[in-house]
Chains A and B, each alone.
Chain A
Amino acid sequence: MDNRELLNRVVDGDERAWEKLVERFAGLVWSVARSFRLSAASTDDVVQTVWLRLAEHSARIREPDRLASWLATTARNEALRVIRGHSRLRPSDTIDDHSEPTASSIEDLVTDDVTLRAVLDAFAQLSDDDQRFLRLLCAVPPLDYQTIAELLGRPIGSIGPTRARCIERLRRLLPAGTDPKERLT
Chain B
Amino acid sequence: MITHHPTEEFMVAYAAGTLDEANSLAIAAHLTLCPTCRDEIAVYEALGATLVEELPEAVMAPQALAATLERVRHASRPLATVSSPLPSRHAPTSSIMLPAPLRHYVGGDIGAAKWQVLGPGIHHMPLVASEGVTARLLRIAPGRAVFDHGHGGLELTLVLNGSYQSQGKRFTRGDLEVADENVNHRPVAGMEDVCICLAVTDAPLRFDSWIGRLMQPFIGI
Q: Does B associate with A?
A: no
Give B contacts to A, CB under 8 Å: none
A contact residues vs B (CB 8 Å cutoff) = none
